[in-house]
Amino acid sequence: MKMLIPKITLDAFEIFGDEKLEQELDQQEKFQNDAWNNVYNAIASGKSKIAYWDIKSAALACYNIFVRYALHQSPKKDGFLQLSVMHIQNDEIIPVADSQYNSVDDFLQRIWSFGVDFVTIM
């Protein structure tokens, strides 16, 4: 299943001092947080095993590398979810980092969703 992640189309410089645009930005952020909350809860509940998404980095594009994030049950800490970060180059997985989360709030504070169009949940 693929879940679309809503885009935030406004930034702080555009909205400074415009209350209507500030409200619109708040609404966009809420929609995006709700989508990420659904991703987290699908894995935390055990309804799904893994969620993953890819980000193409301009800095890595010349090396034919993209970054994949995978959210799954943590093999390191019971009751936590793990976000694994890897580079994919020529179908080879190169582990980069992982982090552990025990609450959706902690996950939402640290998730970087710039450039994510959709998340695949399996």
pLDDT in tens, 68-122: 999 999 999 999 999 999 999 988 999 999 999 999 999 998 887 667 889 999 9
8 A C-beta contact, residue 112 and residue 104: no
Give tens-digit pLDDT for 19-33: 888 888 889 889 999
Measured CA to CA, the distance from residue 46 to residue 91 in angstroms comes to: 28
The per-residue pLDDT for 18 is 83
Least Cα distance to 10 among 19, 112, 63 occurs for 19
Which carries the bigger pLDDT value, residue 102 or residue 15? Answer: 102
Query: Residue range 50-75: average pLDDT?
Result: 88
